[in-house]
Amino acid sequence: MRRVFRLAVPFLAIVACTLGQDAVPNFKVDVPLVSLDVGVTDSSNRPLTDLTKDDFLIYEDGQNREIKHFSAVETPYNILALFDCTGSTRESWPFLLQSLNNFLRTLRPQDRIAVAAFGRPTSTILDWTARSSTGNFNIQMQMPSPLCDQTDFYGAVEWAVSKLRRVDGRKGVIFFTDGVHSGIPSRTVRVGGVSVARFVDPGRDPDFLDARDAVERSEAVFYFIAVNTDLAPSNVDASGLFPGTQYTALSLYNLQQVRSRMEQIVQVSGGGIVYSQRNSDTGALFEQVAHELGTSYSLGFTPSSTLDGTYHRIEIRLRDAGMRVRQSRDGYYAR
């Protein structure tokens, strides 16, 4: 069966029949948890997928902590895909759409998916749906749309965190975007006797820090397929970012600032990022995400610290010392 989901003019619409949803295991606790995903391999680098809670040990700053939450490998994942439909990505739409559809087809039958498009604001195209009930995807975009006039990337990040907050079980986010945000603050500097406006560093951008902190406090893992970055640029004219249609030292500097924001979100969530505009290059990320979803456990513990803003290291150990551990994050900030 083939399902078509379309962003139509001037509104979002779903051209499809109603799709069923599978139940997702419900994990609830009365206190905040620090969560992370963990992959385990043997000495030959083969994934081990039949371990139990009793096989794991969690240490926070060297102190053993009780495992309050455990999800086995076969536990369904909830994946939220967000598509950037704004002008700065318009030339990349065919690539992004094909990448989005290809990615969604890699998910396991037990996983659930939701798809949203963002500019200003973010709008749901496909709400939570069991992958087993969707058949083949064909999500399409039509332009122009009032939704896509401006880029509220930070708002889309916080929207994703809020949407997943109401979802129980394991959860992840994958953004198809250039990471540009319309409200990045800038400061005037003099370069070669000329005054130019440069984007500020992420640490001087309060709105970004709020979005990053929201990701860090969430239980979701964030992935990015990033286009039009300084590592994989394309010739796109975006007001305030690219001076004309030529790349200059200023535009590349601003692109680096945009990229660093995506990288920080990935870092605090334990996800991954790929920079590409070729369909063949996205395969590495698809394989990474599919592998992690299909071979990872999810663990959570109650932190012992107060919200003092300090960094606390997390170490996952196995009772069998011959196993190897890959964990999605090495620590967290208590804030």
Compute the Cα dihedral for 49, 107, 231, 254 and give only its sign. negative
pLDDT at 244: 46
Residue 6 has pLDDT above 60, yes or no: no
pTM (2 decimals)?
0.77
Per-residue confidence at 157, pLDDT binned at 50, 70, 90? very high
In the chain, what percentage of residues exceed pLDDT 70?
A: 76
pLDDT digits (tens, 9 = 90+) for 59-88: 999 999 999 989 999 888 899 989 888 877
Range with the lowest mean pLDDT among 155-159, 248-252, 275-279?
275-279
Residue 254 has pLDDT above 80, yes or no: yes
Phi-psi category of residue 309: left, alpha or beta, with phi > 0 → left and psi -120 to 50 → alpha: left
Domains of the chain: 41-73+297-333 (no CATH), 75-290 (3.40.50.410)
pLDDT at 89: 73
Residue 262 has pLDDT above 80, yes or no: yes
Pair 80, 114: CB distance under 8 Å: yes
Going from the C-alpha of 9 to that of each of 6, 94, 267, 273, the distances in angstroms are 10, 17, 36, 31
- Across 262-271, average pLDDT: 90
* Token pair belonging to 215: 């990701």
Per-residue confidence at 94, pLDDT binned at 50, 70, 90? confident
Q: How many CB atoms lie within 10 A of CB 130?
A: 18
Residue 115 has pLDDT above 60, yes or no: yes
pLDDT at 196: 85
- Across 42-62, average pLDDT: 93
Range with the lowest mean pLDDT among 6-10, 31-35, 67-71, 301-305?
6-10
Phi, psi (5° rounding) for residue 329?
-145, 150
Pair 326, 91: CB distance under 8 Å: no
Range with the lowest mean pLDDT among 77-81, 103-107, 132-136, 207-211?
132-136
pLDDT at 177: 87
